[in-house]
Amino acid sequence: MHDKTLTELAAGLEAGEFSSRELTQALLARIERLDGELNSLITVTPDQALEAADKADAARAKGDTARLNGLPLAIKDLFCTEGVRTTAGSRMLDNFIAPYDATVVEKLKAAGTVSLGKTNLDEFAMGSSNENSFYGPVKNPWDTNAVPGGSSGGSAAAVAAGLVPAAMGTDTGGSIRQPAAFCGITGLKPTYGRVSRYGIIAYASSLDQAGPMARTAEDCAHLLGAIAGHDLRDSTSVARGVPDYTEELNAPLTGLKIGLPKEYFGDGLDAGVEAAVREAVKVYESLGATVREVSLPHTHYAIPAYYVIAPAEASSNLSRYDGVRFGHRCDNPADLIDLYKRSRAEGFGEEVKRRILIGTHTLSEGFFDAYYKKAQQVRRLIRQDFLDAFEEVDVLMGPTSPTPAFDLGANKDPVSMYLQDIYTIAVNLAGIPGISVPAGFVGQRPAEGRPAEGRPAEGRPVGLQILGTHFAESRLLNVAHQFQQATDWHCRRPAIAEETR
């Protein structure tokens, strides 16, 4: 059962081949056996999961045929889950039991899904490798010497390893798409405002967006339909109807106009990644699409602009962790200032402190115009690049990440880590949707200490990123689904996913 897509599992439940309880038990047992090695989950919730599964089975027995009823998944530990510890991967929230559900969690429960637990992540979603978690790094199921990507690395690894068929992620600068690419799964970042941010622990509020991570675009379409929509509790969520995202999945791609941004195929792009992406584009040509080169001239300003805007918003958002109302408090504070300073010094990890300091500095008196205002102006130019490109083409395609998954510990320098997000970050600044789909592998280079036995060298996965204009999720899912009808990269599984012991 662990190898099936959500769509296949839904059919199995529908046909009575197994119950939600049986499915839930089987996956909980796999988590127990295999997650010690991967560390993809921070908290497993077997009791709540079995209770939800029984409820789903009972509803089905009474004739409830809701599409997602009884289907298991996992939730990034950035979403508040009532009564369940919600850590954000931080020591600061190690003891935090959320008193309410995020809107996404509430909607998933209402749809009948069964959450098996909370997935590991970079602390407060700040990172591209999952190495910044207080709970330790996650290992990539394809190669346990490699990172799974970040910040939704636990969600991506859990899906790739067959511990859950789907998981929720969040994406502020690539945090759904890049780990999806590194772990060989499908991940969708919706348009900013498409999914409510209520109850998602905030990192950078003008960039954060939640989305589904699964094995196929079809599964992502079902999940997006369940979580999207306007929410009065998130003033930035968009009041716009939610279409049936599965409706256009099978539309033919004849006449689809694809743009390849020339800036996405430049220096620093791994040759194997480029070859895989260009092969994928050929598949689209064979499906009737036309391809042309386009330009996004401000591409190389995206990372500098992001590292002003995101830390500035983070420094403000994270000021709430003061050791007073919730979260970590230091022992024996001398006075109130000491309480604040030591609680925060002890509760936050290194990358979080770095971003709080950068954000506080750039927002402080004398620096605001040079940094924050300038970055917001550049943000408009970056968005305009995309809007201009979408006047000419329907979708943009390129690599999700310049390299396949890198080795654990390979990027010690923060700036070199930031540069990993070159193809994903501009998308958040512009607020447009993007999806990463598996598009091949890069042959394995020998790495020291690589465990050879039981972990054959399939290589490391490559992700194809497809971008559309604001609210073009149906089109992106259609374009991704058609690729998955023509190729089988999304059906490949790492050795650990085949383990049935």
Which one of residues 250, 295, 377, 485 is an interface residue with other proteins (CB under 8 A)? 377
> Could you tell me how many residues make up the chain?
501
| DSSP secondary structure string for all residues of 76-145 | ETTB-BTTBB--TTSGGGTT-B-SS--HHHHHHHHTT-EEEEEE--SGGG--SSSTT-TT-PPPBTTBTT
The correct pick among 26, 37, 95, 392 for binding other proteins (CB under 8 A) is 95
Q: Given the rule CB under 8 A, which of 182-190, 318-326, 398-406, 492-500 is the region that contacts other proteins? A: 318-326
| Cis peptide bond upstream of 129, omega within 30 | no
Are 216 and 492 within 8 A, CB to CB?
no
Q: To which residue do tokens 């300091």 refer?
A: 357
Site for other proteins in 399-428 (CB under 8 A): 413-415, 418
* Contact string (CB under 8 A) for other proteins, positions 48-77, x = contact: ------------------------------
The SS3 of residue 436 is: strand
Number of Cβ atoms within 10 Å of the Cβ of 452: 8
Residues in 328-367 that interact with other proteins by CB under 8 A? 328-329, 333-342, 344-345, 348, 353-354, 356-358, 360-362, 364, 367
Residue 486 lies near other proteins (rule: CB under 8 A): no
Nearest distance from residue 432's CB to other proteins, in Å? 8
Other Cβ atoms within 10 Å of 304 Cβ, number = 15
Q: Is 431 near other proteins (CB under 8 A)?
A: yes
Instruction: State which residue, 248 or 322, has the beta carbon closest to other proteins.
Output: 322
Asked if residue 4 binds other proteins (CB under 8 A), the reply is: no
Q: Which is nearer to other proteins, 140 or 465 (CB)?
A: 465
Which residues carry out catalysis?
76, 151, 175
Q: Does 491 bind other proteins (CB under 8 A)?
A: no
**Does residue number 228 form part of the binding site for other proteins (CB under 8 A)?**
no
Count of residues interacting with other proteins (CB under 8 A): 74
Binds other proteins by CB under 8 A, chosen from 326, 444, 450, 487: 326
Query: Which tokens in the block code for residue 292?
Result: 């042309």
Site residues for other proteins, 161-200, by CB under 8 A, read 191-193
> How far apart are CB 90 and other proteins at their closest, in Å?
14
Three-state DSSP string of 169-201: EECCCCCCHHHHHHHCCEEEECCCCCECCCCEC
Q: Is 429 in the site for other proteins (CB under 8 A)?
A: yes
- DSSP codes of every residue in 260-318: EEGGGGSTT--HHHHHHHHHHHHHHHHTT-EEEEE--TTGGGHHHHHHHHHHHHHHHHG
The one among 115, 119, 315, 400 contacting other proteins by CB under 8 A:
315
Bridge partners of residue 146, in order along the sequence: 407
Q: Does 290 help bind other proteins (rule: CB under 8 A)?
A: no
